[in-house]
Structure 1
Amino acid sequence: MPSKKKKFNSRFPPARIKKIMQTDEDVGKVAAAVPVIISRALEMFIESLILKSGETTMSRNAKTLSTSHIKQTIESEKKFDFLHDLVANIPDHQPEEE
């Protein structure tokens, strides 16, 4: 009987995630399900960040999501505290283009 390999739909390729994980010498073998789970968690994280940033954009009556909106979201949401260092050099507010 031929083996059935399950195909997981993910936006981030599990093979690439596994390769990135294994660049750390402290990481040993990685089970097949781990990159798929990491991929899904990454999708959910990005979705959450973008939805919250979209709310920020709408609250400013802007039509385009900008880096300053993402920065404001990261600074205002406690769950994104670990990203503060990444957005420290981004200007607080950029003029909206119409």
Structure 2
Amino acid sequence: MEPSSQPEPVVGVATAGSQAYPPPAAYPAPAMPAAIPPGSQPAVPFPANPAQLSAQHQLQQLREFWATQMEEIEQATDFKNHTLPLARIKKIMKADEDVRMISAEAPVVFAKACEVFILELTLRSWMHTEENKRRTLQKNDIAAAITRTDIYDFLVDIIPRDDMKEEGLGLPRVGLPPAALGAPADAYPPYYYVPAQQVPGV
């Protein structure tokens, strides 16, 4: 083996006063790319188009939102003040005939859950608003957020059909007679109704 002109790397434990590697700012980035074989250079994933960039930005916003919410929930100490009225939440909970007694903590948990639900739906709706280069949140933005997110499928039944059409997500009216039968189109509510599934043998 021939001795090389390059010094051998030092292997060992670095003391508290020494640095194994200099800080990144000490060496400016080279102006020209280094001659490194293509297989050994790590590939940096760059989005191919603006839609991917936008989707990544939205995903990052959602991650930040949930990180902030989790931190806020973990550090919560004031359980007396709420953004939503606890009496109203308790009244809604008691609308279920099976509910007899409600602990003091239950409406507090529901209040926070409702707050987070509203905040996330608003964030997703705002993302749609920004995609369309607007500065005003509209109901079709909320409809788009609902139709794009699987966890909001339970809300699809209450989205106005007009908003779904504007989004290009219009669904056919089920169970309603067509306007061609003589009734004006406005005679029917602008909602999409899902017919009840009938289970054979029940």
Answering whether residue 86 of structure 2 is matched by residue 30 of structure 1, we say no
The code of the aligned residue for 1:45 comes to F
Instruction: Find the partner of 1:18 among 59, 71, 90.
Output: 90
**3-state SS in 1 of match to 2:146:** helix
* Larger of the two Rg values belongs to structure: 2
Which residue of the partner structure matches residue 82 of structure 1? 154
Deviation at 1:58, TM superposition (A): 0.2
**3-state SS in 2 of match to 1:41:** helix
For structure 1, list consecutive stretches of 5 or more residues without a partner in the other structure: 1-5
**3-state SS in 2 of match to 1:58:** helix
For structure 2, list consecutive stretches of 5 or more residues without a partner in the other structure: 1-77, 168-202
Superposition RMSD on alpha carbons, in Å? 1.7
The code of the aligned residue for 1:31 comes to S
My pick for the range that moved more, 77-86 or 14-23, is 14-23
Answering whether residue 93 of structure 2 is matched by residue 93 of structure 1, we say no
Q: Which has the higher helix share?
A: 1
The code of the aligned residue for 1:75 comes to T
Q: Give the whole-Å Cα distance in 2 for the aligned partners of 1:41 and 1:17.
A: 11
Q: Is the 8 A contact 2:79 2:108 kept in 1?
A: no
What's the CA shift string for 1:47-82, capped at 9, x where partnerless?
Answer: 000001001100010121101111011000111111
Deviation at 1:40, TM superposition (A): 0.4
Number of aligned residue pairs: 89
Q: Where has structure 1 moved over 4 Å in runs of 4 or more?
A: none
**3-state SS in 2 of match to 1:27:** coil
Deviation at 1:83, TM superposition (A): 0.4
Which residue of the partner structure matches residue 127 of structure 2? 55
Which of 1 and 2 has higher RCO (CA within 8 Å, sep 6+)? 1
Q: Give the whole-Å Cα distance in 2 for the aligned partners of 1:20 and 1:80.
A: 20
